[in-house]
Amino acid sequence: MAGLATARMLKDAGHQITIFEALPGRGMDSYSLAYEGGNIDSPLRVMNPMLWKNTLSLATHLGIKTFPVRTYMSCSWLFEDKIETWLTTSRTPIGNFPIINNRKGIKQYGWRIVKGMLQLKTALKQFFKSDNQDITLDEFVRINQIEEVFWNGVVMPVLFTICTCDAKTIGEWPAKPLLVFLRQLTDGDALLRIQGGTPALVDKLSEGVEIRSSTPIHKIEERGEQVYVETAQGDSALFDRVIVATPTTKVHKFLHPEQFADDIALLKQFKFVDGELVIHTDPIVMPERRKDWSVLSYMMDRKFTKQHFTVWLNSIEPSLVGKSAVFQTWNPVIEIDPKKIISTVKLTRAVVDTNTLSLNTELQKRHLDPNRKVFYCGSWSCDGLPILESAVTSAMHIAEIFKAPLPFVGLKPIVEVAPQLGY
């Protein structure tokens, strides 16, 4: 997203742009699939209008429409005689407040969840009034003694969905960006999905831009006033400026080791984790009773040491309504029938730690050097959560350096009535 967004902004400002894409497709939609006449995004993307302001504003500027979706959830215990679904949620018709709508959940865990919600609400107020906001998420939970079932069974699964990394890694994140996210997420606004999914957004971002797919970069080095770029196929060209939009774990493979020694040393300090997204048709990842199926299905053991989440794609993508049930499961902890697997995608995800803010500050400082010819962007190179929004914001930082206009800032999303979905 960061590379495509940067290309769009600079192309619109009059620059001539060439994208070198290592994958066969067009970056963020390289793993999209056709399924029974419908479309599968890999991964599927939905956006909160408060937290994805720049992304949705850019989509509006490009003429892309959105529709609201409701990401209801179910939670189930694993590794027992049978899969026991202990929580399903919906929202009230008036006020759009989250509610528990299964009797077992209310009877067994209702008071604990309500207690946890009240604790979290109080803790958030105190945290944002406090002068000590430089703590990790684990420290925040420990200080406030938030109810375990609520936190590990309800809140952490939501954070898994966004951060797509394990509990230990999330616990080591600075608390503030995650708590800002949780505070905004509970405001009751519906999430928005782009009509046509990721391919529709990529179509607009890449319009008029030369993209060379399946063309990984082999070498980048400065030569006088220009930058030499050589591909793995042996083709080469000179450019006035180069923008690298890729996980920083790869930059040492193509940046000139002496010219960019300082940059490589800085970029290596950003942290990433790898994960596996399995696209399949095996309902074993869903509650046993069909009436308990939700857009998001979370499964975990009772000690919260193993967990995964699944997206039921038919309930959120209009082109899949009426098709066979199809799912996306992130890092499954139970065996999925190999015969029912459509695709397995390995993704590299940025994570945040206590050093990320200072690393980003230093990177942005380096970008302001008037003699700089090579720049870096990505979801990892912006304060806050490393999501689509931070990818777009990092692209905006590059555009500002090039004095490219940003006419989309502040535009409201174009929201149409939600199509009939398979709830």
CATH code for the domain of 96: 3.90.660
pLDDT of amino acid 421: 62
Buried b (16+ CB within 10 A) or exposed e, 288-317: eeeebbbbbbbbbeeeeeebbbbbbbbbbb
Residues 185 and 289 in one domain: yes
Is 423 domain-assigned?
Answer: no
Same domain for 95 and 201, yes or no, is no
Q: Give the pLDDT of residue 242.
A: 98
Residue 355: inside a domain, yes or no?
A: no
Q: What is the tens place of the pLDDT at every residue in 215-225?
A: 999 999 999 99
The predicted pLDDT at position 364 comes to 95
Residue 230 confidence (pLDDT) above 90: yes
**Model confidence at 104: pLDDT above 90:** no
In a domain, 289, yes or no: yes
Task: Please indicate, yes or no, whether residues 199 and 174 belong to a single structural domain of this protein.
Answer: no
The confidence band for 96, taking pLDDT boundaries of 50, 70 and 90, is very low
370 plus 248 within the same structural domain: yes
**For residue 25, what pLDDT is reported?**
87
Is residue 384 predicted with pLDDT exceeding 70?
A: yes
- 344 with 406, same domain: the answer is no
pLDDT of residue 39: 93
Confidence band for 269, pLDDT divided at 50, 70 and 90: very high
421 within a domain of the structure (yes/no): no
Instruction: Tell me the pLDDT tens digit for each residue of 330-344.
Output: 999 999 999 999 999
Quick check: is 356 in a domain?
A: no
The model's pLDDT over 393-407, given as tens digits with 9 standing for 90+, comes to 999 999 999 999 999
What is the percent of the chain where pLDDT is above 70?
94
Facing residues of 91 across strands?
Answer: 98
Band the pLDDT of 102: cuts 50, 70, 90.
Answer: low
Whether residue 86 is found in the same domain as residue 172: yes
* pLDDT score at 246: 93
Please give the Cα distance from 113 to 119 (Å, whole number).
Answer: 10
Q: Does residue 15 share a domain with residue 114?
A: no
Q: What is the CATH number of the domain that holds 374?
A: 3.50.50.60
For residues 242 and 333, state if they share a domain.
Answer: no
Q: How many helices (H) and strands (E) does the chain have?
A: 12, 20
Domain count, the chain: 2
- Residue 70: what pLDDT? 81
Q: What percent of the chain has pLDDT over 90?
A: 70
Q: Are residues 320 and 373 in the same domain?
A: no
pLDDT for residue 91 is more than 70? no
Q: Domain for residue 118, yes or no?
A: yes
Residue 98: per-residue pLDDT:
53
Please tell me whether residue 129 adopts helix, strand or coil conformation.
helix
pLDDT band at 419 (very low <50, low <70, confident <90, very high): low
Question: Residue 105's pLDDT is what?
Answer: 66
How much is the pLDDT for 94? 43
Report pLDDT for 383: 79
pLDDT band at 248 (very low <50, low <70, confident <90, very high): very high
The domain boundary, picked from 298, 315, 349, lies at: 349
The pLDDT value recorded for residue 113 is 84
Does 139 fall in a domain? yes
Per-residue DSSP letters for 341-390? EEEEEEEEEEE--TTHHHHHHHHHHHHT-TT--EEE-SGGGSSS--SHHH
> In this predicted model, what pLDDT tens digit does every residue of 138-191 receive, in sequence order?
999 999 999 999 999 989 988 988 888 888 889 989 999 899 888 876 655 678
The strand pair at 226-231 and 217-223 is best described as antiparallel
329 and 295 co-located in one domain: yes
CB 74 within 8 A of CB 290: no
Predicted TM-score of the model (pTM): 0.91
pLDDT class of 1 with cuts at 50, 70, 90:
very high
Residues 76, 187, single domain; the answer is yes
36 is a domain residue:
no
Average pLDDT value over all residues in the chain: 90
The domain of 185 spans: 69-192+272-349
Same domain, 202 and 179: no
More confident residue, 332 or 71: 332
Predicted confidence at residue 328, as pLDDT, reads: 97
The answer to whether residue 76 scores a pLDDT higher than 60 is yes
Q: For 117-143, how does the pLDDT look when each residue is reduced to its tens digit (9 = 90+)?
A: 899 999 999 999 998 888 999 999 999
Element (H, E) at 261: helix 261-267
> What pLDDT is recorded for position 99?
60
